[in-house]
Structure 1
Amino acid sequence: MPDAAIDAATAQIGRVQSGEVPSPVVCTFFDEATNTASHVVHCPITKRAAILDSVLDYDAAAGRTSNGSAQAIVDYVRREGLSVDWQLETHAHADHLSAAPWLQEQLGGKLGIGANIVRVQNVFGKIFNAGTRFARDGSQFDHLFQDGETFSIGDLPVTVLHVPGHTPADMAFVIGNCAFVGDTIFMPDFGTARADFPGGDARQLFQSIRRLLSLPEETRLFLCHDYKAPDREDYAWLTTVALERAHNIHVHDGVSEDDFVAMRTTRDATLAMPKLLMPSVQVNMRGGHMPEPEADGISYIKIPVNRL
């Protein structure tokens, strides 16, 4: 079937390859505590920038947050003389808290996420019994992206792709000739994301991944996580469409949708919940903000017993 958004992204990548528009500059910050890769991407001509999937440090035992990981991003942005237009989230993460609100205070930029965040808010609003004060309309974010939406970061063209399966709201941002794909896919030797969270769907995930892998083979894929596959010593977060199609252990060319779904379903049944799921989702579904303070002025993270 025709896919206008993929066609737009492919044409955009061709413009970079031909030199018509600049190639993005990307700097990655890897948080080993949560295995998260946050990216700063900027236009080399205008110095306009976006920050993707930032991390707020969180000590679960003490219930305390800190900004060390995010401060490293602030230092880089200021050192390079960048102007931040966007704080982008590929999805509502279940393994780390977002630092986007704090980064907005330091650097500015609009906070954007996929429009289907409202589905995530509805599901997890019930799970965490968030009450009527918790808005389930995405209003905690400055912009809700639709599939195929386009915009610019300086002279860099951007095409947004809806890639559900890991969660209903996952988005990939194709910026110049780079695609920031969130948790849809990992390094070829590690495979793909889980699809067993509420609202996840292994069949959708396969279709989303194959959609991403229909981009030009030279497209650079920047990942949100790496867990170091067996026999690999270093963390990695950059691959290409060609490498994934040839070598991804879960979804390389030739793997059928049914085989993938069977593999993913079996594998997901063996996985423990992410250790920071409870605080992460409660914060990230609110755009990175803590739950509303209670009568004593303190915010509290809820732990639903025997619910998940």
Structure 2
Amino acid sequence: MTAAERLPDVTAFHDRRTGSVQYVVADPVTKDCAIIDPVFDYDEKSGQTWSENADKILAFIAERGYRVQWIMDTHPHADHFSAAPYLKAKTGAPTATGSYVTRVQKLWADFYNWPDFPQDGSQWDHLFSAGDTFNIGEIGGYVIHSPGHTLASITYVIGDAAFIHDTMFQPDSGTARADFPGGSSAALWDSIQAILQLPPETRLFTGHDYLPGGRALQYESTIAMQIATNSHLSVHRDKAAYIAARDARDATLPMPKLILHALQVNINGGQLPAPEANGRRYLKIPMDLLTRGSGE
């Protein structure tokens, strides 16, 4: 098998607290790997942070003898802190996200009243734009811009695997919400249609699974499965119908309980706030910015 024909090994790590799915994607021959969308643990009731999720990933990588080439986020997450800085400190690997993160930084820096906050994406080591290519070992990858859930969202296609974050979920769960600041159901439809142009056998790895109905964890599908059985896309087959259904559904959803906590960390590349004079870190929560629901 040539490098061009080699398929990446993909291992998922599920965080039940947030429903997030984190990935290690590796070239099985060279043992080079990337970490995608890692979680840094945070409890909003106590303010405690810890590194259980990231440490599990590091232990797995050490067990497999992998070398970390990249630590990649698909977008600034609204429901967990990114563990990218923690993992960079442990591995030395560069951090990366989409260049479109500057649009989210501009939006949220205004919400947090941070006029001096750097809005150029310099908090990451590398910014990917649509069409950019990279390698995991000898397996080629490239980037698709996939806005809609956020302005910044990107998809990483690595070999036969696409990491589709918050665009489509498992077929029984449909598609992601598009009502966050900067979100757009119309843009999400277009992003999903672009992903669905990939070969039918492409493996799709989603960014969340909430175990609907108490079923077992699922995170992998294919293009063919999504086209045939996605609970939103197989019913709402044209853009106008999808937008109407998506917007109606989103109007019933509370905001994620960590969105105001997480965005101030994640637009800063996952860096926690700097300690103040007393040695403690503090988050800043804007009042009455997001007014729908309690998040519970």
Instruction: For residues 2-61 of structure 1, give each alpha carbon's deviation from its aligned partner in whole angstroms, at most 9, with x where no partner exists.
Output: xxxxxxxxxxxxxx9x87431101111000000010000000111110000001111111
Which residue pairs with 1:175 in the alignment? 158
- Partner of 1:264, secondary structure, is helix
Matched, 1:28 2:12: yes
Matched, 1:279 2:279: no
Separation of aligned partners in 2, 1:277 and 1:161: 25
Instruction: For residues 182-215 of structure 1, give each alpha carbon's deviation from its aligned partner in whole angstroms, at most 9, with x where no partner exists.
Output: 1111010111111011110100000100110110
Matched, 1:241 2:220: no
Instruction: For residues 43-88 of structure 1, give each alpha carbon's deviation from its aligned partner in whole angstroms, at most 9, with x where no partner exists.
Output: 0111110000001111111111001111100000011111101000
**2:71 equivalent among 87, 93, 105:** 87
- Partner of 2:234, secondary structure, is coil
Separation of aligned partners in 2, 1:154 and 1:253: 40
Matched, 1:62 2:17: no
Separation of aligned partners in 1, 2:286 and 2:255: 14
Instruction: State the AA in 2 paired with 1:145.
Output: F
Instruction: For residues 219-274 of structure 1, give each alpha carbon's deviation from its aligned partner in whole angstroms, at most 9, with x where no partner exists.
Output: 000111011233x5112111110000001111138611000000111111110011
| Aligned-pair CA distance for 1:292 | 3.2
- Partner of 2:212, secondary structure, is coil
Instruction: For residues 125-183 of structure 1, give each alpha carbon's deviation from its aligned partner in whole angstroms, at most 9, with x where no partner exists.
Output: 11112241x21110000111100111111111001100000001100000010000111
Could you tell me which runs of 5 or more consecutive residues in structure 1 were left unpaired when the two chains were aligned: 1-15
Instruction: State the AA in 2 paired with 1:127.
Output: F
- Partner of 1:208, secondary structure, is helix
Which residue pairs with 1:126 in the alignment? 110
| Aligned-pair CA distance for 1:297 | 3.4
Which residue pairs with 1:8 in the alignment? none
Bigger drift between 164-173 and 98-107 goes to 98-107
Instruction: State the AA in 1 paired with 2:288.
Output: N
Aligned length: 290
| Aligned-pair CA distance for 1:299 | 2.1
Separation of aligned partners in 2, 1:28 and 1:240: 16
> What percentage of residue pairs aligned between the two structures are identical?
44
- Cα–Cα, structure 1 residues 95 and 254, in superposed 2: closer, same or farther, change >3 Å? closer
Separation of aligned partners in 2, 1:23 and 1:278: 38
Separation of aligned partners in 2, 1:117 and 1:23: 29
Which residue pairs with 2:55 in the alignment? 71
- The 5 A counterparts of 1:289-308 are 289-308=271-290
Matched-pair contact (CA < 8 Å) for 1:217–1:242: yes
Matched-pair contact (CA < 8 Å) for 2:236–2:242: no
Matched, 1:189 2:172: yes
Which residue pairs with 1:227 in the alignment? 210
Which residue pairs with 1:106 in the alignment? 90
- Partner of 1:189, secondary structure, is helix
**1:264 equivalent among 246, 251, 256:** 246
Separation of aligned partners in 1, 2:235 and 2:30: 39
- Partner of 1:164, secondary structure, is coil
Which residue pairs with 2:101 in the alignment? 117
- Cα–Cα, structure 1 residues 253 and 216, in superposed 2: closer, same or farther, change >3 Å? farther
Instruction: State the AA in 1 paired with 2:231.
Output: I
Matched-pair contact (CA < 8 Å) for 1:43–1:155: yes
RMSD: 1.4
Q: TM-score, normalised by structure 2?
A: 0.95
- Partner of 1:103, secondary structure, is helix
Q: TM-score, normalised by structure 1?
A: 0.91
